[in-house]
Chains A and B, each alone.
Chain A
Amino acid sequence: MKHKVVAMILAGGKGTRLESLTKKTSKPAVSFAAKYRIIDFPLSNCANSGIGVVGVLTQYESTALDAYIGNGEKWGLNGVHCLMTSLAPRQTEQGANWYKGTADAIAQNIDFIDESNPEFVVILSGDHIYKCSYNEMIELHEKTGADATISVIEVDPAEASRFGIMAVNKTDRIVEFQEKPKVPKSNLASMGVYVFSWPVLRKYLIADMKDPKSEHDFGKNIIPNMLNDGKKLQAYRFKGYWRDVGTLASLHEANMDIALDKMELNLYERDANNRIYTEDTYSVPQYVGKRGSITRSIATQGASILGDCDSCVISNGVVIEAGAKCTRAVIMENAIVKKGAVVHNVIIAPGVVIPEDAKINVGGDEVVLIGK
């Protein structure tokens, strides 16, 4: 069946910089903002953009992520015109292959995309936090007649050398791409969100597969190759909150942005059609105890807050015992902070028990992960 747009979400990365948080979980499945997982954001964006065909490319610890993705029902992506599946590496007539890079992951699933015979393919990253309707970007792509459109966000010029930077002309046509440049030519960073005209991308993917020198990466190979060939690459300027949560510090900071009600992500907008969807838990409502307190925080159902929490993110099933004190703490599902314990500037991994009277990172400026 023909679909105009197919979305492919790259979710195979290990996320080494998240240390033990990704020991048994892939990065996109790491929990975020008390009740979500990171991948809920691109998936909900697809759902809210009316994109029904979504392939999720998984590789590292794929079983748990595949199970979470299921048939897409959690995001409403199981309707009659929808087709959602996770695409882990598979054995084929040509043999068995791991995904050798982001481009190779898509290339190995050309058959999946061809089934929908789409005009456009949206390539997304499974580990970014943002709310975006991709329709506007697709419209721009159509209007400008581009071969590829890349979503960019303005970053602080001083930080620009950490990103893939796009230099553009007056009409926002991309003239040069610099991967983590020492001397950035602009402050427009690529968000790793691409719209491609499928016939064009398809050709480049097949050529890239045959290139023994290629790293099979969108940023390093596909985009530079297209630019070299004079293809039309357009920049789409995204306005709003966007974070790559690839490190412990950035994961913690993005969680704090929500707890401290910076509201840029707009999780609390009342428009029921623009929400972020996730797995439901069958837990009792959250309870704040007689001597508990909670300020500048977010907490979800199933949490028991009997101690003091300030600037915290409190997930499902978490217990903060009486007399415990948590500040700037991201506490993931089913973790327990025992009485008298004090934690500061921490990420507490799922299921971890902080023992009685433990003092962890008190006064510390750097975020500490407490893993199992």
Chain B
Amino acid sequence: MEKIIGFCNLHDDPHLGQLTTKRPCGVVSFLGRYGLMDFTLSNFSNSHIDRIYVLVKNSVLSVRSHIGNGAIWTNNTRRGFVNLLLNEDGLFNPKFNTDLANLKANFSIDYVDFDYAVIAPSFMLASIDYRPIIAAHEKSGADVTIVYKHINNADEEFHNCDRLKIGADNKVTKIDTNLGRTSEADISLESFIISKKVLRKIVNDVSKVSELFSLREMIKYYVGEEALDVRAYEFEGYVIPMLSLEGYFKHSLDLLNVQNRNKLFSEDWPIYTTTHNTPPALYGRNADVRNSFIANGSIIKGKVENCIISRDVVIEKGAVVKNAILFTRSEIGKDVKVINALIDKGARVSGVNALEGKDGEVLYIKQGAKI
């Protein structure tokens, strides 16, 4: 059996507006319970990839506290692990802080015993079984396999993502950017399968091509130069791209719809996350909750509609919260109205009558703010 390692790559993740000023995209709270990177880590775990490295670009402490000892994603806790790799030099040199620089600094390709590496970002949410993809990669004899999704709403979604042109035998002949001009497109999910030998080559080549290039850009370069055999593998499941604050907000609330939810989650593909030992959610006498996710530890005494309520949130009596995402430990005081808003971790809204994002805009209340 092939020896596989997984890299959860946080270097190339997009900014989700103010959500990611102090934390990487991968640990942004999702559905009140997860961090975005839980999907990638759980995909590895469910695909029986037991040696996992997280390529951390910055804010290592928030990644560290989310991962803990990594045991929840690990099958055998002696042989398996979730290790964090941080390129410290990159912190002083942000332009050069790429995934490949991180690999070069922290990962001894020759020392680690593996046949193939799976490298995946945290912002493309999906339940992906990598085992058939690795098998197809091996069978094709390709140097690199890119997992992609064929979409017919490229004019609305996946903007600025890599778009593949695929020829005979699934060969990738061109990679450009989805500018939203067409509706049909094959979008790279930025998940790559690479053999040990090819990964070594890419890490070595980068200093000859450009030290600024990320793995994704190097692969694009090889395709342009026809220097590597790059193939595409179509993923037919559901994918949610987290590319902006607005997209994050919309896609999260879309999952209140059970049909969408069932596309992302499946019973035989659990998404693991860290436990916080919170008690069950408590609903008061006047609680009025409709179409919402409620995480454990919350105390709901007011009205909640079309919302995602995270752990340990308090919603007081008389409060009305609609179309909103509330992060961990936030509090909405008595008789306060909150509509179209994203309330970040630990923020408390009590001294005002109403907070409302107007005209489809999401009102963002920053972490720890007291209003």
Contact = CB atoms under 8 A, between A and B. Distances in A.
A282 B296 contact: no
Nearest to A296: B285
B261 interface: yes
A296 B282 CA distance: 7
A79 to B, nearest CB: 12
Contacts of A284: 31, 33, 261, 265, 271, 293
A280 B275 contact: yes
Interface in A280-314: 280, 282-301, 313-314
A45 B33 CA distance: 26
Given A284-B261, A288-B291, A268 B281 contact: no
Contacts of A33: 279-280
A41 interface: no
A291 B305 CA distance: 11
Interface string B224-258: 00000000000000000000000000000000101
The interface size bin for chain B is 35 or more
A348 to B, nearest CB: 16
Contacts of B33: 284-285, 301
A299 B290 CA distance: 14
Chain B binding surface SS class: loop
Contact of B279 (A35, A287, A314): A35
Given A35-B296, A282-B270, A290-B290, A261 B32 contact: no
Contact of B281 (A277, A292, A298): A298
Contacts of B283: 294-299
A125 interface: no
A277 B277 CA distance: 6
A272 B312 CA distance: 11
Interface string A251-269: 0000000000100000110
A298 B280 CA distance: 6
A65 interface: no
Interface residues of A, number: 35
A261 B317 CA distance: 14
A211 B279 CA distance: 46
A286 B271 CA distance: 15
A283 B271 CA distance: 8
A16 to B, nearest CB: 28
Contact of A288 (B294, B295, B296, B299): B294
Contacts of A277: 277
A6 interface: no
Contacts of B293: 284-287
Nearest to B329: A270
Interface in A7-49: 33-35
Contacts of B273: 282
B295 A299 contact: no
B296 A261 contact: no
A300 B281 contact: yes
B363 interface: no
B280 A294 contact: no
Contacts of B256: 287
B84 interface: no
Interface string A341-352: 000000000000
B271 A282 contact: yes
A285 B282 contact: no
A303 to B, nearest CB: 9
A173 interface: no
A278 interface: yes
Interface in A113-159: none
B291 A293 contact: no
20 contacts: A34-B280, A35-B296, A276-B277, A277-B277, A285-B32, A285-B293, A286-B281, A288-B294, A292-B289, A292-B290, A293-B288, A295-B284, A295-B286, A295-B288, A298-B280, A298-B282, A300-B280, A300-B281, A300-B296, A301-B296
Given A275-B277, A286-B295, A299-B283, 14 more contacts: A33-B279, A267-B279, A275-B278, A282-B270, A284-B271, A285-B294, A285-B295, A287-B258, A288-B290, A291-B290, A293-B290, A296-B283, A297-B282, A301-B296
Task: Give the 5 A-B CB pairs with smallest separation, nearest first.
Answer: A280-B275, A282-B270, A34-B280, A300-B280, A298-B280
